[in-house]
Amino acid sequence: MTEAVENAARTGLPMLADLVSDGDVVVLSGAGLSTESGIPDYRGETGRRRRAEPMTYQAFTGSEAARRRYWARSHLGWRHIARARPNAGHRAVAELQRRGLLAGIITQNVDGLQQAAGAREVIELHGALDRVVCLSCGERSARERLDERLREANPGWTARAETINPDGDAVLRDEAVETFRIVDCERCGGALKPDVIFFGENVPPGRVGDCYALTERAGALLVLGSSLTVLSGYRFVRHAARHGVPVAIVNRGATRGDPHALVTLDAPLGATLDALVAELPA
């Protein structure tokens, strides 16, 4: 065990195990759960080392140049996301579900790693990068197909990413973006967008309603790897607190939800969740 996990084991881990062992737990996961798989975050330890300027929905829909910039950067960044594999934290959540201790899983992540670890019926609050949607006709298609089409449209394009930002956003030189060719919907010719919620875009109300319903019926809400800075996830912590549902948080660093939490653990996600699973009866 690392020192951080040992400290957690002496303090909050037994309390967390007691909460989880009662079952009906709803997991709310954030980017911090995927950093150990090599995917950076916006606000955690990896996020603080970069100045990320995420694409907004308004910029993407309002400008072909913005869409070219996004798809050029994402075309390279997608390779990084596609290579990522589930880590110990993802596998621990899937194991908790396998043991019948979870009532549901809500993820703010768009990388699909929770499902790749074996979790089922995950609510993808912000969508998923492995799907693409047409802004005109609404048809959804596989990201792999778009990747093939972009490679065909850009033969000899040899740009190299200077760094990878969250959500598969690769930092490129301006000249590499300017020479990139984007492709449109094969069905109607409309503009294509990743099937994710951009900054400035609203999560579909039905999806939010499902998350609220899960939260208020939960035996406990377990937040994993989220600073809860953005209202999109924080609202479910507030909702749980209003309904008397105990909240537990495992994250590197303080979170906006800490005042509502019964248990908070500042520790590595993978090792801590491994230790949690080991505390529980098989």
* HEC assignment per residue over 32-88: HHCHHHCCCCCCCCCHHHCCCCCCEHHHHHHCHHHHHHHHHHHHHHHHHHHHCCCCH
Domains of the chain: 1-39+86-126+202-282 (3.40.50.1220), 51-83+127-196 (3.30.1600)
What was the pLDDT predicted at 50? 44
* DSSP symbol at 131: E
What was the pLDDT predicted at 55? 86
108 is in an annotated binding site: yes
Per residue in 135-176, pLDDT (tens digit) is 999 999 999 999 999 999 999 998 887 777 767 788 888 888
Task: Tell me the pTM.
Answer: 0.91
Which residues, 6+ apart, have CB-to-CB distance to 155 below 8 Å? none
110 is in an annotated binding site: yes
State yes or no: pLDDT of 48 exceeds 50. no
Query: What does the mean pLDDT of the chain come to?
Result: 91
Region of poorest pLDDT, from 44-53, 140-149, 254-263 = 44-53
What is d(CA 247, CA 236) in angstroms, rounded to the nearest whole number? Answer: 10
277 is in an annotated binding site: no
What was the pLDDT predicted at 255? 97
87 is in an annotated binding site: no
Catalytic positions: 126
Region of poorest pLDDT, from 126-135, 151-160, 206-215, 216-225 = 151-160
Is 79 or 233 the better-scoring residue by pLDDT? 233
